[in-house]
Amino acid sequence: MRIIAAAMVIVTHSLVLVGVGVEQDILYKMSGGEIMISTLGLRTFFVISGLLIMQSMDRSTSRGAFVWKRILRIFPGLIICVLITVCIIGPVFTSKTITEYFQLRSTWSYLINLTLFKTQETLPSVFESNIVPVVNGSIWTLAYEFSYYMMVLGLSFIGIFKRKWIIFIVFFIFFVVQLINIYCTVPPKYFYFLMYTDLRLNHFSDFGLYFTSGVIAYLYRERISYTNKFAALALAGYVICIFFNIPWLLKYVALPYLILYVGYLSINPRISMWGKNGDYSYGIYIYGMIVQQSILALLGVEIDPYLLSLIALITVFPFAWLSWHLVEKNALKLKSI
């Protein structure tokens, strides 16, 4: 499911990168702009993440072990990706000389992406002939992901496993903030609500609702039944919400239920065993746009966005495979340290 979610992000990015625009995204058109294919992919990521991260907190021997595992899951892969971007992708696709490229401060300032909370989208004269010169437009969401890791850590200090009802307070706070974002004019200084970060309040509350839904699903896993009847009701409720652009609470309950319903379906063993070979979703996600932009730069011609998506998915998979087997999997072996 996470691989599919990563592929969904690539599809919408293709529409943007070839100049068609998100307006041609099929879900964007059907929902009147409420959701895109990439948005659905991201929300799927956050729901699944909420469940799995809460499980990780529950099973960790200590809070320090939990934080260490979370660091090992995000940073090693990201560090290699950013270094490859600066030291290989940049020199290959910049219109400047190699010497000029490496002498520029804006080349090395790209490393600020390793902090997660500040981002730089471009490298000097890299992909400048592309319609959109952004090098990697995916990694900005990692700051939100890591923020929710820290939220789970904070909840552990106030006894979330014994006082499960606390999570509903968190969910309600996110929902109120989301309503404020929708119906009120939020001052710019609050829109970017944390000083010295690029976190945006609307994304923080929206992603936070889906992540928290996943947390609730884990905490109350023994009480939640995933049935065809409830799934049908959830689908009907969600469709009503998005097609009428209604920010009802139901929307933030129905979609997570549907995602987890699909996740718990009994399916072909060959599919369900796929994850045993490794988690390639992170590599697909962080390398996806780099591959897309490289393809566009090399071809130098107009290309159908869906064809670009297909080529990018086929091309990015070896990078994701290498990222998992050479970097991510080996990094996770250190979690017991």
| Banded pLDDT at 245 (limits 50, 70, 90) | low
Phi and psi at 234, nearest 5°, equal -65, -40
Quote the DSSP letter at residue 266.
-
Is 61 or 241 the better-scoring residue by pLDDT?
61
pLDDT for 268: 61
Determine the average pLDDT of the residues in 202-211.
94
Amino acid found at 283? G
102: pLDDT strictly greater than 90 = yes
20-27: which pairs have CB atoms within 8 A and are 24 or more residues apart?
20/305, 24/305
| Banded pLDDT at 56 (limits 50, 70, 90) | very high
Domain ranges of the chain: 2-336
Of the candidates 253, 269, 262, 271, the one whose C-alpha atom is nearest the C-alpha of residue 228 is 262
Apex CA 239: angle with CA 246 and CA 227, to 5°? 125
pTM: 0.93
Cα–Cα distance for residue pair 87/281, rounded to 1 Å: 24
| Banded pLDDT at 100 (limits 50, 70, 90) | very high
- Is residue 109 a contact partner of residue 124, using CB atoms and an 8 Å limit? no
Q: If you count DSSP H runs as helices and E runs as strands, how many of each does the chain have, helices first?
A: 17, 0
Cα–Cα distance for residue pair 110/97, rounded to 1 Å: 18
| Banded pLDDT at 128 (limits 50, 70, 90) | very high
Cα–Cα distance for residue pair 224/36, rounded to 1 Å: 28
- % of the chain exceeding 70 in pLDDT: 95
Determine the average pLDDT of the residues in 27-51.
90
Cα–Cα distance for residue pair 291/59, rounded to 1 Å: 36
Choose the most confident range, by mean pLDDT, from 21-35, 178-192, 278-292. Answer: 278-292
- % of the chain exceeding 90 in pLDDT: 74
- Is residue 69 a contact partner of residue 146, using CB atoms and an 8 Å limit? no
**Helix extents (H) in 158-200:** 166-183, 188-191
195: pLDDT strictly greater than 90 = no
pLDDT for 301: 72
337: pLDDT strictly greater than 80 = no
257: pLDDT strictly greater than 70 = yes
SS3 67: helix
pLDDT for 95: 93
What is the crossing angle of helices 2-17 and 281-299, to 10°? Answer: 20
74-78, 260-264, 318-322 — which is least confidently predicted? 260-264
SS3 94: strand
Cα–Cα distance for residue pair 271/7, rounded to 1 Å: 16
For 291, the token pair is: 């591959």
pLDDT for 273: 66
SS3 283: helix
- Residue 12 exposed, middle or buried by CB count within 10 Å (0-12, 13-18, 19+): buried
